[in-house]
Amino acid sequence: MPKSIFLNMVKDEMFKLRYAKRTIEAYLKWISSYIHFHQKKHPNLMHDSEVEAFLSHLVLELDVSAATQTSALNALVFLYRDIIRRPLNVKLNFVKSSRQQKLPVVLTTDEMRRLLAVINAQHKLPVSILYASGLRLMECMRLRVKDIDFDYKSIRIWYGKGGKHRVVTLADELVPALRQQITLVQQYLDADLINPDYSGVYLPHRLRLKYKKANRSLEWQYLFASRQLSKDPEDKSLRRHHIDESAIQKAIRFAAKKANIGKTVTPHTLRHSFATHLLQSGADIRTVQDQLGHADLRTTQIYTHILQRGGNSVVSPLSRL
Protein backbone atom coordinates (compact mmCIF):
# COMPACT_ATOMS: atom_id res chain seq x y z
CA MET A 1 0.00 0.00 0.00
CA PRO A 2 1.34 3.48 -0.86
CA LYS A 3 2.18 5.49 2.27
CA SER A 4 1.70 8.99 0.84
CA ILE A 5 -1.70 10.64 0.64
CA PHE A 6 -1.01 11.60 -2.97
CA LEU A 7 -0.12 8.05 -4.08
CA ASN A 8 -3.18 6.69 -2.28
CA MET A 9 -5.28 9.19 -4.20
CA VAL A 10 -3.69 8.06 -7.48
CA LYS A 11 -4.37 4.43 -6.56
CA ASP A 12 -8.04 5.14 -5.78
CA GLU A 13 -8.44 7.01 -9.06
CA MET A 14 -6.95 4.14 -11.03
CA PHE A 15 -9.35 1.71 -9.35
CA LYS A 16 -12.25 3.97 -10.36
CA LEU A 17 -10.96 3.97 -13.94
CA ARG A 18 -10.88 0.12 -13.85
CA TYR A 19 -7.14 -0.27 -14.36
CA ALA A 20 -5.77 -3.78 -13.79
CA LYS A 21 -4.22 -4.43 -10.38
CA ARG A 22 -0.77 -5.02 -11.86
CA THR A 23 -0.92 -1.87 -13.94
CA ILE A 24 -1.79 0.08 -10.80
CA GLU A 25 1.18 -1.42 -8.95
CA ALA A 26 3.58 -0.67 -11.82
CA TYR A 27 2.37 2.91 -12.30
CA LEU A 28 2.56 3.66 -8.56
CA LYS A 29 6.13 2.34 -8.49
CA TRP A 30 7.21 4.63 -11.33
CA ILE A 31 5.38 7.69 -10.02
CA SER A 32 6.98 7.16 -6.60
CA SER A 33 10.45 6.78 -8.21
CA TYR A 34 9.88 9.96 -10.22
CA ILE A 35 8.91 11.93 -7.10
CA HIS A 36 11.91 10.64 -5.11
CA PHE A 37 14.27 11.37 -8.01
CA HIS A 38 13.25 15.03 -7.76
CA GLN A 39 13.73 15.14 -3.95
CA LYS A 40 10.04 14.53 -3.21
CA LYS A 41 8.87 17.57 -5.14
CA HIS A 42 5.12 17.42 -5.83
CA PRO A 43 4.32 16.39 -9.44
CA ASN A 44 2.00 19.38 -9.75
CA LEU A 45 5.09 21.62 -9.52
CA MET A 46 6.90 19.72 -12.30
CA HIS A 47 6.23 18.96 -15.94
CA ASP A 48 8.01 18.17 -19.23
CA SER A 49 11.59 19.01 -18.27
CA GLU A 50 11.47 17.02 -15.03
CA VAL A 51 9.94 14.03 -16.81
CA GLU A 52 12.64 14.22 -19.49
CA ALA A 53 15.38 14.31 -16.83
CA PHE A 54 13.92 11.27 -15.05
CA LEU A 55 13.53 9.21 -18.22
CA SER A 56 17.09 10.07 -19.29
CA HIS A 57 18.35 9.12 -15.82
CA LEU A 58 16.82 5.65 -16.20
CA VAL A 59 18.98 5.06 -19.27
CA LEU A 60 22.17 6.94 -18.44
CA GLU A 61 22.46 5.84 -14.80
CA LEU A 62 20.42 2.64 -14.51
CA ASP A 63 20.82 1.31 -18.07
CA VAL A 64 17.22 0.13 -18.29
CA SER A 65 15.80 -1.56 -21.38
CA ALA A 66 13.53 0.18 -23.87
CA ALA A 67 10.53 -1.72 -22.50
CA THR A 68 11.27 -0.60 -18.93
CA GLN A 69 11.69 3.02 -19.99
CA THR A 70 8.41 2.85 -21.93
CA SER A 71 6.64 1.52 -18.84
CA ALA A 72 7.90 4.51 -16.83
CA LEU A 73 6.84 6.90 -19.60
CA ASN A 74 3.34 5.41 -19.71
CA ALA A 75 2.96 5.87 -15.95
CA LEU A 76 3.95 9.54 -16.15
CA VAL A 77 1.76 10.18 -19.18
CA PHE A 78 -1.16 8.82 -17.14
CA LEU A 79 -0.17 10.92 -14.11
CA TYR A 80 -0.19 14.21 -15.99
CA ARG A 81 -3.14 13.42 -18.25
CA ASP A 82 -5.57 11.89 -15.74
CA ILE A 83 -4.42 13.14 -12.32
CA ILE A 84 -2.65 16.49 -12.77
CA ARG A 85 -4.79 17.32 -15.84
CA ARG A 86 -1.88 18.95 -17.69
CA PRO A 87 -0.87 16.46 -20.39
CA LEU A 88 2.80 16.11 -21.28
CA ASN A 89 4.19 17.30 -24.58
CA VAL A 90 3.89 14.53 -27.19
CA LYS A 91 7.45 15.33 -28.33
CA LEU A 92 9.39 14.90 -25.12
CA ASN A 93 13.16 15.16 -25.51
CA PHE A 94 14.94 12.46 -23.50
CA VAL A 95 17.67 9.86 -24.01
CA LYS A 96 16.02 6.73 -25.33
CA SER A 97 17.24 3.28 -24.38
CA SER A 98 19.09 1.40 -27.08
CA ARG A 99 19.83 -1.65 -24.98
CA GLN A 100 19.39 -4.73 -27.10
CA GLN A 101 16.64 -7.22 -26.34
CA LYS A 102 17.95 -10.38 -24.70
CA LEU A 103 17.90 -13.57 -26.72
CA PRO A 104 15.32 -15.94 -25.24
CA VAL A 105 16.36 -18.93 -23.15
CA VAL A 106 14.90 -22.10 -24.67
CA LEU A 107 14.74 -25.61 -23.24
CA THR A 108 15.38 -28.66 -25.37
CA THR A 109 12.54 -31.18 -25.65
CA ASP A 110 14.47 -33.47 -23.29
CA GLU A 111 14.86 -30.67 -20.71
CA MET A 112 11.17 -29.86 -21.04
CA ARG A 113 10.28 -33.51 -20.45
CA ARG A 114 12.50 -33.64 -17.36
CA LEU A 115 11.02 -30.44 -15.97
CA LEU A 116 7.42 -31.68 -16.29
CA ALA A 117 8.41 -35.01 -14.76
CA VAL A 118 9.47 -33.38 -11.47
CA ILE A 119 7.12 -30.38 -11.18
CA ASN A 120 4.90 -30.70 -8.11
CA ALA A 121 1.44 -32.14 -8.73
CA GLN A 122 -0.36 -29.02 -7.48
CA HIS A 123 1.13 -26.83 -10.21
CA LYS A 124 1.70 -29.35 -12.99
CA LEU A 125 -1.43 -28.45 -14.98
CA PRO A 126 -0.88 -24.67 -15.22
CA VAL A 127 2.82 -25.21 -15.96
CA SER A 128 1.93 -27.75 -18.66
CA ILE A 129 -0.47 -25.24 -20.25
CA LEU A 130 2.24 -22.56 -20.32
CA TYR A 131 4.30 -24.86 -22.53
CA ALA A 132 1.53 -26.67 -24.40
CA SER A 133 -0.25 -23.49 -25.49
CA GLY A 134 2.50 -20.85 -25.28
CA LEU A 135 0.67 -18.64 -22.79
CA ARG A 136 2.09 -15.74 -20.84
CA LEU A 137 1.97 -16.39 -17.10
CA MET A 138 -0.86 -13.96 -16.32
CA GLU A 139 -2.86 -15.13 -19.34
CA CYS A 140 -2.81 -18.58 -17.77
CA MET A 141 -3.63 -17.33 -14.27
CA ARG A 142 -6.62 -15.33 -15.53
CA LEU A 143 -8.24 -18.18 -17.46
CA ARG A 144 -11.91 -18.76 -16.63
CA VAL A 145 -13.66 -22.13 -16.91
CA LYS A 146 -15.55 -20.92 -19.99
CA ASP A 147 -12.28 -20.22 -21.84
CA ILE A 148 -11.57 -23.93 -22.31
CA ASP A 149 -13.20 -25.26 -25.50
CA PHE A 150 -13.09 -29.06 -25.36
CA ASP A 151 -15.02 -29.46 -28.63
CA TYR A 152 -12.50 -27.54 -30.73
CA LYS A 153 -9.47 -28.34 -28.54
CA SER A 154 -8.67 -24.68 -28.01
CA ILE A 155 -8.23 -22.03 -25.34
CA ARG A 156 -9.62 -18.52 -25.69
CA ILE A 157 -7.41 -15.71 -24.42
CA TRP A 158 -9.22 -12.45 -23.68
CA TYR A 159 -7.44 -9.11 -23.38
CA GLY A 160 -3.90 -10.42 -23.71
CA LYS A 161 -0.96 -8.09 -24.15
CA GLY A 162 -2.10 -4.99 -26.02
CA GLY A 163 -5.73 -5.81 -25.17
CA LYS A 164 -5.92 -8.42 -27.94
CA HIS A 165 -8.02 -11.61 -28.03
CA ARG A 166 -6.78 -14.84 -29.60
CA VAL A 167 -7.43 -18.57 -29.78
CA VAL A 168 -4.60 -21.02 -29.04
CA THR A 169 -4.22 -24.77 -29.28
CA LEU A 170 -5.16 -27.14 -26.46
CA ALA A 171 -3.14 -30.35 -26.16
CA ASP A 172 -5.29 -33.50 -26.13
CA GLU A 173 -3.15 -34.90 -23.31
CA LEU A 174 -4.34 -32.15 -20.94
CA VAL A 175 -8.08 -32.74 -21.40
CA PRO A 176 -8.53 -35.27 -18.52
CA ALA A 177 -6.61 -33.07 -16.08
CA LEU A 178 -8.59 -30.00 -17.15
CA ARG A 179 -11.89 -31.79 -16.58
CA GLN A 180 -10.69 -32.76 -13.09
CA GLN A 181 -9.69 -29.16 -12.42
CA ILE A 182 -13.13 -27.89 -13.43
CA THR A 183 -14.71 -30.44 -11.07
CA LEU A 184 -12.54 -29.01 -8.27
CA VAL A 185 -13.64 -25.47 -9.16
CA GLN A 186 -17.28 -26.62 -8.99
CA GLN A 187 -16.65 -28.00 -5.48
CA TYR A 188 -15.16 -24.66 -4.42
CA LEU A 189 -18.15 -22.82 -5.88
CA ASP A 190 -20.68 -25.08 -4.15
CA ALA A 191 -19.03 -24.27 -0.82
CA ASP A 192 -18.82 -20.55 -1.60
CA LEU A 193 -22.48 -20.21 -2.55
CA ILE A 194 -23.62 -21.23 0.93
CA ASN A 195 -21.28 -18.66 2.51
CA PRO A 196 -23.39 -15.54 3.25
CA ASP A 197 -20.34 -13.27 2.94
CA TYR A 198 -19.33 -14.54 -0.52
CA SER A 199 -19.66 -11.83 -3.20
CA GLY A 200 -18.97 -13.91 -6.29
CA VAL A 201 -15.85 -14.06 -8.44
CA TYR A 202 -14.30 -10.80 -9.62
CA LEU A 203 -15.61 -9.49 -12.94
CA PRO A 204 -14.52 -6.34 -14.79
CA HIS A 205 -16.98 -3.48 -14.24
CA ARG A 206 -18.60 -3.61 -17.70
CA LEU A 207 -19.24 -7.37 -17.41
CA ARG A 208 -20.50 -6.94 -13.85
CA LEU A 209 -23.26 -4.71 -15.18
CA LYS A 210 -24.04 -6.78 -18.28
CA TYR A 211 -24.11 -10.23 -16.64
CA LYS A 212 -25.44 -9.64 -13.16
CA LYS A 213 -25.47 -13.32 -12.11
CA ALA A 214 -22.31 -14.42 -13.91
CA ASN A 215 -20.08 -13.95 -10.87
CA ARG A 216 -21.79 -16.94 -9.21
CA SER A 217 -21.82 -19.22 -12.25
CA LEU A 218 -19.26 -21.97 -12.88
CA GLU A 219 -18.38 -20.63 -16.35
CA TRP A 220 -16.94 -17.40 -14.97
CA GLN A 221 -14.92 -18.87 -12.11
CA TYR A 222 -11.14 -18.80 -12.40
CA LEU A 223 -9.85 -22.09 -13.78
CA PHE A 224 -6.94 -22.08 -11.34
CA ALA A 225 -8.87 -20.88 -8.33
CA SER A 226 -7.15 -20.23 -5.03
CA ARG A 227 -7.80 -22.64 -2.17
CA GLN A 228 -8.84 -19.76 0.07
CA LEU A 229 -11.21 -16.81 -0.17
CA SER A 230 -9.71 -13.33 0.06
CA LYS A 231 -10.80 -9.70 0.18
CA ASP A 232 -11.01 -7.80 -3.09
CA PRO A 233 -8.64 -4.79 -2.79
CA GLU A 234 -11.09 -2.68 -4.80
CA ASP A 235 -14.17 -2.94 -2.58
CA LYS A 236 -13.11 -5.30 0.28
CA SER A 237 -15.73 -7.89 -0.71
CA LEU A 238 -15.03 -11.60 -0.13
CA ARG A 239 -14.10 -13.44 -3.33
CA ARG A 240 -12.16 -16.47 -4.61
CA HIS A 241 -9.30 -15.18 -6.73
CA HIS A 242 -6.91 -17.17 -8.91
CA ILE A 243 -3.75 -18.69 -7.44
CA ASP A 244 -0.84 -16.30 -7.03
CA GLU A 245 1.54 -16.29 -9.98
CA SER A 246 4.54 -16.29 -7.64
CA ALA A 247 3.68 -19.89 -6.70
CA ILE A 248 4.10 -20.91 -10.35
CA GLN A 249 7.38 -19.01 -10.63
CA LYS A 250 8.76 -20.74 -7.53
CA ALA A 251 7.55 -24.16 -8.64
CA ILE A 252 9.30 -23.80 -12.02
CA ARG A 253 12.56 -22.63 -10.45
CA PHE A 254 12.54 -25.52 -7.98
CA ALA A 255 11.70 -28.08 -10.68
CA ALA A 256 14.47 -26.79 -12.98
CA LYS A 257 16.99 -27.20 -10.17
CA LYS A 258 15.65 -30.65 -9.30
CA ALA A 259 15.85 -31.70 -12.97
CA ASN A 260 19.48 -30.46 -13.15
CA ILE A 261 18.73 -27.99 -15.93
CA GLY A 262 21.64 -25.58 -16.07
CA LYS A 263 19.65 -22.64 -17.41
CA THR A 264 17.67 -19.81 -15.87
CA VAL A 265 14.13 -21.13 -16.25
CA THR A 266 11.08 -18.89 -15.77
CA PRO A 267 7.45 -19.21 -16.89
CA HIS A 268 8.34 -17.20 -19.99
CA THR A 269 11.04 -19.75 -20.84
CA LEU A 270 8.22 -22.25 -21.45
CA ARG A 271 6.57 -19.83 -23.87
CA HIS A 272 9.89 -19.40 -25.71
CA SER A 273 10.27 -23.17 -25.82
CA PHE A 274 6.73 -23.61 -27.17
CA ALA A 275 7.46 -21.24 -30.07
CA THR A 276 10.86 -22.73 -30.88
CA HIS A 277 9.61 -26.32 -30.76
CA LEU A 278 6.63 -25.43 -32.98
CA LEU A 279 8.99 -24.03 -35.61
CA GLN A 280 11.26 -27.04 -35.17
CA SER A 281 8.34 -29.36 -35.92
CA GLY A 282 7.59 -27.57 -39.21
CA ALA A 283 4.97 -24.97 -38.26
CA ASP A 284 5.15 -21.83 -40.38
CA ILE A 285 6.11 -18.59 -38.70
CA ARG A 286 2.72 -16.93 -39.29
CA THR A 287 1.02 -19.73 -37.35
CA VAL A 288 3.47 -19.29 -34.50
CA GLN A 289 2.86 -15.53 -34.58
CA ASP A 290 -0.89 -16.08 -34.23
CA GLN A 291 -0.47 -18.57 -31.40
CA LEU A 292 1.79 -16.20 -29.45
CA GLY A 293 -0.35 -13.14 -30.15
CA HIS A 294 2.52 -11.07 -31.54
CA ALA A 295 1.39 -7.92 -33.34
CA ASP A 296 4.65 -7.71 -35.32
CA LEU A 297 6.14 -10.68 -37.19
CA ARG A 298 9.63 -9.39 -36.37
CA THR A 299 9.00 -10.24 -32.71
CA THR A 300 8.33 -13.85 -33.67
CA GLN A 301 11.33 -14.05 -35.98
CA ILE A 302 13.72 -14.03 -33.03
CA TYR A 303 12.91 -17.73 -32.60
CA THR A 304 14.18 -18.52 -36.08
CA HIS A 305 17.62 -17.31 -34.98
CA ILE A 306 17.72 -19.94 -32.24
CA LEU A 307 17.22 -22.68 -34.81
CA GLN A 308 20.03 -21.46 -37.02
CA ARG A 309 23.16 -23.33 -36.00
CA GLY A 310 25.90 -20.94 -34.99
CA GLY A 311 24.08 -18.06 -36.68
CA ASN A 312 22.89 -18.55 -40.27
CA SER A 313 23.99 -22.21 -40.20
CA VAL A 314 27.66 -21.27 -40.32
CA VAL A 315 30.01 -24.16 -39.56
CA SER A 316 32.91 -23.14 -37.34
CA PRO A 317 36.40 -23.50 -38.90
CA LEU A 318 37.36 -25.45 -35.76
CA SER A 319 35.13 -28.24 -36.99
CA ARG A 320 37.28 -28.61 -40.12
CA LEU A 321 40.57 -29.16 -38.32
CATH code of the domain containing 32: 1.10.150.130
pLDDT digit string, tens, across residues 243-264: 999 999 999 999 999 999 999 9
Per the document, the length of the chain is 321
209 lies in some domain: yes
Do 221 and 292 fall into the same domain? yes
The answer on pLDDT for 160 being more than 90 is no
Catalytic positions are 136, 161, 268, 271, 294, 303
Do 162 and 265 fall into the same domain? yes
Of residues 44 and 102, the one with the higher pLDDT is 44
Do 35 and 137 fall into the same domain? no
pLDDT of residue 99: 76
Strand partners, 144: 222
316 lies in some domain: no
Among the residue ranges 17-21, 43-47, 170-174, 271-275, the one predicted with the least confidence is: 17-21
Residue 27 — φ and ψ, nearest 5°?
-65, -40
| Structural domain of 295 | 109-303
The answer on pLDDT for 66 being more than 60 is yes
Q: Are 58 and 64 in contact (CB under 8 A)?
A: yes
Do 196 and 260 fall into the same domain? yes
CATH code of the domain containing 230: 1.10.443.10
Q: The whole model's pTM is what?
A: 0.82
91 lies in some domain: no
Mean pLDDT across the chain, nearest whole number? Answer: 91
d(CA 13, CA 155): 33
- Identity of the amino acid at 13: E
Do 60 and 204 fall into the same domain? no
Query: Is the alpha carbon torsion for 92, 97, 103, 105 positive or negative?
Result: negative
Do 266 and 124 fall into the same domain? yes
154 lies in some domain: yes
pLDDT digit string, tens, across residues 209-221: 777 889 999 999 9
275 lies in some domain: yes
Do 68 and 121 fall into the same domain? no
Q: Is 136 exposed, middle or buried (0-12, 13-18, 19+ CB in 10 A)?
A: middle
d(CA 264, CA 68): 20
The answer on pLDDT for 2 being more than 60 is no
Do 182 and 265 fall into the same domain? yes
**Residue 75 — pLDDT band, cuts 50, 70, 90?**
very high
Do 178 and 44 fall into the same domain? no
Do 279 and 199 fall into the same domain? yes
98 lies in some domain: no
pLDDT of residue 220: 96
pLDDT of residue 132: 95
Angle at the Cα of 184 from the Cα atoms of 181 and 187, rounded to 5 degrees: 155
What's the structural domain count of the chain? 2
321 lies in some domain: no
The answer on pLDDT for 314 being more than 80 is no
Do 136 and 268 fall into the same domain? yes
308 lies in some domain: no
The answer on pLDDT for 164 being more than 90 is no
pLDDT of residue 303: 83
Do 156 and 286 fall into the same domain? yes
d(CA 107, CA 277): 9
**Residue 28 — pLDDT band, cuts 50, 70, 90?**
very high
The answer on pLDDT for 293 being more than 60 is yes
The answer on pLDDT for 316 being more than 70 is no
Among the residue ranges 4-8, 77-81, 94-98, 313-317, the one predicted with the least confidence is: 313-317
Q: Is 51 exposed, middle or buried (0-12, 13-18, 19+ CB in 10 A)?
A: buried
